Amino acid sequence: MSCRGAEKRVALVRGDGVGPEVIDGALAVLEAAGAGLEFVPVELGYGRWKRTGKAIAEEDLELIKTCHSVLLGAITTPPDPEYRSVLLRLRQELDLYANIRPFSAPELDFVIVRENTEGMYSGVEKLDEEEATTLRVITYRGSLRIAERACAIASKRQRLTIVHKSNVLKSDRLFLKICEETARRWDVPFESMLVDAAAYNLVINPKRFDVMVMTNLFGDILSDEAAGIVGGLGLCPSANLGDKYALFEPIHGSAPDIAGKGIANPIGAIRSAAMMLEWFGDAEKARMIEEAVEWSLAQKVTTPDLGGCCSTKEVAEAISKRLAWSD
């Protein structure tokens, strides 16, 4: 999972709500780590939509495509039928088909590999007064490429759990078959598990999981559940990877209720920045950031969501200082 040797040009999308605050935290930590990145600010999202009537334009996509990756804070998706999620558009336009969501806590360490472009997010929908439908599209190509990504990760770890609902959904019979074939080809130990059982087992015995692969909506739901299990959404990062582009973002949303208060947890964004450094081939700096984050958590230098009384800025500063000491 890296793009070694590439120039490090990063489109910076601060976004809405707490997005700008957590991104400031991530930038402070990247600077303390001496990441040496070039940032290209791109304004996208709901704030811009309210101001200009456009949440994202073709020119923004062109600009983003001149960069190697995107670091994104959070973008509000209002329940307005006219408004199309910018994040989903970016995933589609940049073909970011693999959403990698690692979860860690003391004695817990597992990864959700979520298909990110099809399934229930196909966009093939119809909404009438009497009936509404959403087409769950699972393709051979889409399943194969996510299975390959999951097996590549699992081959360096312990095993793979293929999460599905093939007892009810025909579309998941295809997904399951392709994942099983791919795991056999990679010679990765694997099991399959129905999604309802996986949701249950995540709560009862999360330690049994290592790498989990699943379709889009199941990944959306189980990753929020997993975040709850490891201590909260504010802690969790993600990488959205394609063959050409990559986008890194905390898995939390824009949290408008606490926006501007300076209390949002920056750790999800900081860990996302660390994942980006790893993808750029700088695994050592990524590891140092992760260690500094763990140190701050152990010291209980935390924002209110984790029971602490530090601000976003104080947490980011503590992590940055720790990086400077460990230099």
- Where do contacts with Mg ion occur on this chain (CB under 5 A)? 220
Shortest Å, Cβ 227 to ligand IPM: 10
Nearer to Mg ion, 233 or 293 (CB): 233
Q: Per CB under 6 A, does 16 bind ligand IPM? A: no
Q: Count of alpha carbons within 13 Å of 232, Cβ hemisphere only?
A: 14
Nearer to ligand IPM, 78 or 281 (CB): 78
Question: Considering only residues 204-233, where is the footprint of ligand IPM by CB under 6 A?
Answer: 220
Question: Is 196 an active-site residue?
Answer: yes
Q: Considering only the stretches 43-51, 83-91, 197-205, 314-322, report the one whose residues sit in contact with ligand IPM under the rule CB under 6 A.
A: 83-91
Strands 125-127 and 132-134: antiparallel
Nearer to ligand IPM, 225 or 291 (CB): 225
Q: What is the CA radius of gyration of the chain?
A: 19
Residue among 87, 241, 255, 286 that touches ligand IPM (CB under 6 A): 87
Q: What is the full DSSP assignment across 273-319? A: HHHHHHHTT-HHHHHHHHHHHHHHHHTT---GGGT----HHHHHHHH
Question: Is 220 an active-site residue?
Answer: yes
Question: Considering only residues 234-253, where is the footprint of ligand IPM by CB under 6 A?
Answer: 251
Report the partner that residue 117 touches, choosing among ligand IPM, Mg ion, none (CB closer than 5 to 8 A by kind): none
Asked whether 210 and 111 are in contact (CB, 8 A), the reply is yes
Q: Considering only the stretches 84-92, 147-155, 163-171, 271-279, report the one whose residues sit in contact with ligand IPM under the rule CB under 6 A.
A: 84-92
Question: Is 224 an active-site residue?
Answer: yes
What's the length of the chain?
Answer: 327
Residue 5, token pair as written in the block: 């040797």
Report the partner that residue 87 touches, choosing among ligand IPM, Mg ion, none (CB closer than 5 to 8 A by kind): ligand IPM
- Taking residue 158's Cβ as centre, other Cβ atoms within 10 Å add up to 12
d(CA 207, CA 189): 16
Residue among 85, 104, 265, 312 that touches ligand IPM (CB under 6 A): 85
- Strand (E) or helix (H) holding 240: strand 237-241
Report the partner that residue 77 touches, choosing among ligand IPM, Mg ion, none (CB closer than 5 to 8 A by kind): ligand IPM
Task: Give the distance from CA 104 to its chain's centroid.
Answer: 14
Residue 220, token pair as written in the block: 């959306």
Nearer to ligand IPM, 78 or 262 (CB): 78
Query: How far from 57 is each of 22, 64, 80, CA to CA, in Å?
Result: 24, 11, 18
Q: Considering only the stretches 85-93, 152-160, 196-204, 275-283, report the one whose residues sit in contact with ligand IPM under the rule CB under 6 A.
A: 85-93
Nearer to ligand IPM, 154 or 251 (CB): 251
Q: What is the full DSSP assignment across 38-106? A: EEEE---SHHHHHHHS-S--HHHHHHHHTSSEEEEEE----S-TTPPPHHHHHHHHTT--EEEEEEEET
Nearer to Mg ion, 69 or 116 (CB): 116
* Active site members: 121, 165, 196, 220, 224
> Which residues form the interface with ligand IPM (CB under 6 A)?
77, 85, 87-88, 220, 251
